[in-house]
Amino acid sequence: MNFEIYEENKPTKEEPVRLRLTKDPDGSISVRAVDTRGVFKEDGHLLRFTTNGVLHRVGVIGVCLGFQLDEQKRIKLGAV
């Protein structure tokens, strides 16, 4: 799997998973997969960091993105 931070007008040869950080109305930060124009991909809401310091794995992530998913279609956590 290849990752890339979204940058406007940056041509790529291999299609990476492009990530975009967004600030939600409640102040939390979300990590979302986007296309080459920065538009959110369907089922691409991956993670959410809340203002109280909690990380949430968002459910129903698209299989086409290439992440390893659990039974609830959330990103699997690995042992560190």
pLDDT digits (tens, 9 = 90+) for 26-71: 999 999 999 989 999 999 999 999 999 999 999 899 998 999 999 9
CA distances from 9 to 35, 43, 79 (A): 12, 24, 36
Would you list the domain boundaries of the chain?
3-65
- pTM metric for this prediction: 0.78
Give 53's contacts (C-beta < 8 A, 6+ positions apart): none
